[in-house]
Amino acid sequence: MSRLAPQPGERIDRQRVVRFTFDGQPVEAFEGDTIGSALYAAGRRTFSRSFKYHRRRGLFCCAGHCPNCIVAVDGAPGARACIEPVTEGMRVEHVNARPGLELDVMRATDLIGSKLTPPGFYYKTFIRPRRLWPLYEKVLRHAAGLGVLRKEQPEREWRTEYRRRHADVLVIGGGSAGVAAAKAAAEEGADVVLVDSGDIDPVPGVETLSRATAL
């Protein structure tokens, strides 16, 4: 495992080791790691393949806003490795690569077929003859998508919390600029709420709302 030296205020607990698997291979992480940070520390750079040309994809935005590190977790597709926290015994698998992540036969679309498959080619190619559409549809459905939704899924608890909150100042975005603005307003005596779609570290004098998805 390759790691940076300990940093003040880091979110991982280096004293607590968490173990999970990626494509059947054991991976060690620390409490507080995301799947992406743990795999990167373990030397992994490719987490998935791109949708159309099946090019290698790994960490990019590290904020859950791009499709470059989508994986399946415990059989459920669509998890973003860069923000999904690791848990003991979780099973992580790649998506959109057959038969494996390193050897993906669909990479042929990039190696030999990229000139034959320009953007939007399927809108002109798969419309005639009409009698073959059922076959086209079957092939396209098999090739499309970034994971397999299994018929039997583990039980999950879905909970959405709604709150009404009135404040003097609402700051949206928990980056450095947002935190600075929230602090400045709080120092002036304002009632400040700071929200972000991700996790936010505590800010003195400011109420923080993490993983807020709607206002």
Read off the pLDDT of each residue in 139-154 and give the average, rounded to a whole number. Answer: 72
Beta bridge partners of 93: 72
Tell me the pLDDT tens digit for each residue of 71-91: 999 988 889 999 999 999 999
Read off the pLDDT of each residue in 46-71 and give the average, rounded to a whole number. Answer: 91
Q: Please report the sign of the dihedral spanned by the C-alpha atoms of residue 161, residue 162, residue 168, residue 169.
A: positive
Report the mean per-residue pLDDT for the chain.
87
42: exposed, middle or buried (Cβ count in 10 Å: 0-12, 13-18, 19+): middle
DSSP states along the chain: ---PPP-TT-S-EEEEEEEEEETTEEEEEEET-BHHHHHHHTT----EE-TTT--EE--SSSSS-SSTTEEEETTEEEEETTTPBP-TT-EEE--S-SB-SSSBGGGHHHHTTTTTS-TTHHHHHTTSSGGGHHHHHHHHHHH-SSS---SS---------------SEEEE--SHHHHHHHHHHHHTT--EEEE-SS----BTTBEEETT----
Task: Give dist(CA 102, CA 79) in Å, integer.
Answer: 20
Q: Which comes out higher in pLDDT, residue 126 or 180?
A: 180
Q: Which CATH architecture has domain 13-118?
A: Roll (3.10)
Strands 48-49 and 25-31, how do they pair?
unpaired
131: exposed, middle or buried (Cβ count in 10 Å: 0-12, 13-18, 19+): exposed
Tell me the pLDDT tens digit for each residue of 23-44: 999 999 999 999 999 999 999 9
pLDDT at 143 over 90: no
pLDDT at 123 over 80: no
pLDDT at 154 over 70: no
Task: Give dist(CA 135, CA 98) in Å, integer.
Answer: 20
**Of 37-41, 52-56, 65-69, which has the strongest mean pLDDT?**
37-41
Q: Which comes out higher in pLDDT, residue 159 or 5?
A: 5
Tell me the pLDDT tens digit for each residue of 182-195: 999 999 999 999 99
For the chain, residues classed under CATH 3.10.20.440 are: 13-118
Read off the pLDDT of each residue in 33-56 and give the average, rounded to a whole number. Answer: 92
